[in-house]
Structure 1
């Protein structure tokens, strides 16, 4: 393959990715002009790409508007590692929600953000922006800090290099203080987030570790800061994380 063709392939891939990720949570269907605006791709190119992606089932037409296609959902279900992790974690998450009536999360780290693989809403918990497949700045979440505390130093360096923007009223934005907190989390196996993601919210998280002691995911309980006692739910979160880690290390039953 010649360099020119590699460049063309790369540009095409980038455009397809930009087009598909132009859709945001809550979007039903978008017009060509809006897709062009969000993706930064010329309208003529958007028209052409939409035609190809519609033929493949990755996009669907709704009159003059465009929506994400069902085939994208089907492809997503083939993400075996995440699917297996979600299936293994679901009973533990369900038990935590039942015991605390608060919202529980399962998340992984991707870049400087966490991606939520599962979210079970609790009846006594606040309405949260987290959703399955959603992302949030790792430094401002309990699961993110639990993951970073057991990640390579280069990963933490990348997060700090990107900056620690203020998300909630008590987000930790000082690199030194953030590193110090990660050290304590690494020692204790528990991460706390107190109004760092949003006002009035508290979170307790714990990592799921592999054989090397690195975090592959994290689970958490989130509730109102005025109602949920972090010290009381922390042992339950830690116990569930340890049990789930052992389950994952043991592998699937044959």
Structure 2
């Protein structure tokens, strides 16, 4: 696509417009989108208008903009994430019914843990994750499972960066994290108290498809809960999801 005077392509500008929407910021004006996407006002209004015409964005009666249903529809067509979510949901429901706490499914996406699904019990404890939300790989139980099984180059790239302390007990020492990741690969799960919130413990296990770890299944427990039942439930569920993925694998 043609470049703008600033050197960025139309594709780059479209992506910047869409990335101004977050799980917390779901509605914006065109002017706000332009400022956050670092676009001239006229360019922002033109791109927003074209995306609205295409159904990728929607404009409400107050002229505020939100993501359009067509964007959701296109994203799901042939999506590997949809296949994974569909295979996982029945087993997530079983875990959630047994443990009665938040049950989550996450994948590795651009060096972060992206949460595809979350099931919650009305009496479940604290949890900051949301569907389509992200957490750092080094700070969440799901993220550490994904990081433990990532390509070595990706793992070292993440560990070479300054690691943010999300909670007081978040491990930010790269060598200590390497030992944690090795233990995950050896034991097949992680129990991570206080790494995201001081009052919670994350427990996570890997999900494999064709031998590769493609996702992490986790629960978020109150800090004083014995994690043993959750570890067993997650490992059973992961095995069930893997069997469902094998049965659904195209030949």
1:24 offset after TM fit, Å? 2.1
Aligned-partner Cα distance in 2 for 1:64–1:235: 50
Gaps of 5+ in 1: none
Match of 2:31 in 1: 33
Question: Within 5 A, what are the aligned runs for 1:47-62?
Answer: 47-62=45-60
Residue deviations 1:12-58, cap 9 Å, x none?
Answer: 11111111111122434312221122111111110111121111111
Alpha-carbon contact 2:55-2:69 (below 8 Å) kept: yes
Aligned-partner Cα distance in 2 for 1:28–1:181: 36
Alpha carbons of 1:204 and 1:65: their partners in 2 closer, same or farther (altered >3 Å)? same
Question: Within 5 A, what are the aligned runs for 1:14-33?
Answer: 14-33=12-31
1:111 offset after TM fit, Å? 2.3
Match of 2:107 in 1: 108
1:151 offset after TM fit, Å? 1.7
Aligned-partner Cα distance in 1 for 2:11–2:166: 32
Deviates more, 1:64-73 or 1:37-46: 64-73
Misfit runs of 4+, over 6 Å: none
Question: 1:84 is paired with a residue of what secondary structure?
Answer: helix
1:92 offset after TM fit, Å? 0.6
1:223 offset after TM fit, Å? 1.5
1:65 offset after TM fit, Å? 2.2
Match of 1:222 in 2: 220
Alpha carbons of 1:101 and 1:131: their partners in 2 closer, same or farther (altered >3 Å)? same
Aligned-partner Cα distance in 1 for 2:122–2:223: 15
Is the aligned partner of 1:237 residue 2:241?
no
Alpha-carbon contact 1:59-1:66 (below 8 Å) kept: yes
Question: 1:123 is paired with a residue of what secondary structure?
Answer: coil
1:6 offset after TM fit, Å? 6.0
Alpha-carbon contact 2:192-2:201 (below 8 Å) kept: yes
1:160 offset after TM fit, Å? 1.1
1:172 offset after TM fit, Å? 0.6
Match of 1:185 in 2: 184
TM (normalized to structure 2)?
0.91
Question: 2:205 is paired with a residue of what secondary structure?
Answer: strand
Question: Within 5 A, what are the aligned runs for 1:58-137?
Answer: 58-62=56-60, 63-137=62-136
TM (normalized to structure 1)?
0.90
Pick the structure with more helix per residue: 1
Alpha carbons of 1:176 and 1:110: their partners in 2 closer, same or farther (altered >3 Å)? same
Question: 1:148 is paired with a residue of what secondary structure?
Answer: helix
